[in-house]
Amino acid sequence: MGKVYALVDCNSFYVSCERVFRPGLRGRPVVVLSNNDGNAVALSPEAKALGIPFGAPFFKWRDFMEKNGVSWFSSNYTLYGDLSCRVMDCLSAFTPDMEVYSIDEAFLILDARGDLPALGRDIKETVARWTGIPVSVGIGETMTLAKLANRMAKREPAAGGVCSMAGRDDMDILLDGINVEDIWGVGLQYRKMLHKNGISTALHLMRADDRWIRKHMTVMGLRMVWELRGRPCLSLEEAPRPKKVIVSSRSFGAPSVDINELREALATYVTRAAEKIRRQRSAVSSVTVYLCTNRFREKDPQYSAGITCALPVPTAYTPALIHYSGKMLDKIFKTGYKYKKVGVMFTGIVPEDGIQLSLFDPYRETPRRKDLMKVMDGINASMGRNTVHFAAEGIVKPWAMRRAFLSGRYTTRWDEIPVVWAR
């Protein structure tokens, strides 16, 4: 087999960060709150044991926390970002093949030979020694299995925070002990649907029929099932790809009824999102603006609306984006409602100097027709022509093939098709 995946995940990351600088908090219940001290977004095991759920609204639980000696903190993302970098640096000492998956998780590719549980323990101890952050390590033959192993490492006290599912012959027993909703990619809706169809454990899902899965869970579900069987369908993303969507929104502390207030708030979010766009050297070709009332205040009249609009030209110019989004807000704004939230979403994101066309899709054996056509269009555009110059055999349907042949040039290997930049 050669390679295995490891998922290293920091335990209650935000709480652990606070504890690094306040050792007195160790072993005590601690909670970290979201923006505006809205909800609990991180809980120490001691806080979970008291029955505080993830996402608990602070205003409802405050008394309970005071009575039970729970410490709480407003989130400090600068601190968490900094400690995250230290953890990731530490992990990169173990392998050059690594994907930082989120602020508190990373996938590593490891050599499958050798004592994997021992390597897992080494990783765990090294991170703890260098950064003070406790982590759990899960190892498996695919990313999905590594995720599951990580979960077991956290759940089973006997595991000591490390679990390897790679190369084991008791996989059926292991998978039979895992609920289907604990698999990476199964959320509430799929859980319901699967249970209704008699699929309640990871083992059931692993043995399900491919066509059935494809039909009810799309190709994403199929990849998931293949991954459970030990066939890798997901791969590491070592360099972060530019964002395809950029969102900026906030809930207001106090609701607003005034369009001018909303316009000002929106302009702030647009500015912030436009900065992100420019930082990744992109431009935006469509904008969505949305607003909504407070859904928790059921007695108040409810209204939510969104509008999407394609820009005449892709841009990252803040005043232009503020101008358009303001007009869009005017269209969906209705008087008589108390608005709780307004936001903007940028989509249709393209490089600032054109469109990058790439066929690479590691999950398909052949490129998608759609992508291929994009490449053709891009090449034509960049050459100032309006005919197709090549196609890939067996992939493009007759009319495109005909055109390709008429043009006199084509290639049969899709991986030979270059990445093209078009104006």
Partner DNA sequence: TCTGGGGTCCTAGGACCC
Catalog residues that contact DNA under the rule CB under 7 A.
34-36, 38-39, 41, 55, 57, 59, 101-105, 147, 183-191, 218-220, 241, 243-251, 253-255, 272, 276, 285-286, 288, 294, 296-297, 306-310, 340-341, 343, 348, 363, 369-370, 373-374, 377, 396-400
Secondary element (H or E) of residue 117: helix 116-131
- Under DSSP, the state recorded for 151 is H
- 254 or 406: whose CB is closer to DNA? 254
The least CB distance from residue 237 to DNA, in Å, is 9
| Token pair in block for residue 184 | 């990476």
- 38 or 167: whose CB is closer to DNA? 38
- 197 or 218: whose CB is closer to DNA? 218
- 23 or 312: whose CB is closer to DNA? 312
- 19 or 341: whose CB is closer to DNA? 341
- Sole residue written with tokens 């759990």: 136
- Whole-angstrom distance, CA of residue 254 vs CA of residue 403: 61
The least CB distance from residue 259 to DNA, in Å, is 19
- CA nearest 292: which of 283, 300, 281, 302? 302
- CA nearest 166: which of 209, 124, 119? 119
Strand, coil or helix: 147:
helix
How deeply is 143 buried, as exposed, middle or buried, from its count of CB atoms within 10 A (0-12, 13-18, 19+)?
Answer: buried
The least CB distance from residue 257 to DNA, in Å, is 13
- 118 or 310: whose CB is closer to DNA? 310
- ∠ CA 145-151-88, nearest 5°, is 85
The least CB distance from residue 382 to DNA, in Å, is 15
**Ramachandran quadrant class, 152 (left: phi over 0; alpha: psi -120 to 50; beta: rest):** alpha
The least CB distance from residue 248 to DNA, in Å, is 5
The least CB distance from residue 373 to DNA, in Å, is 3
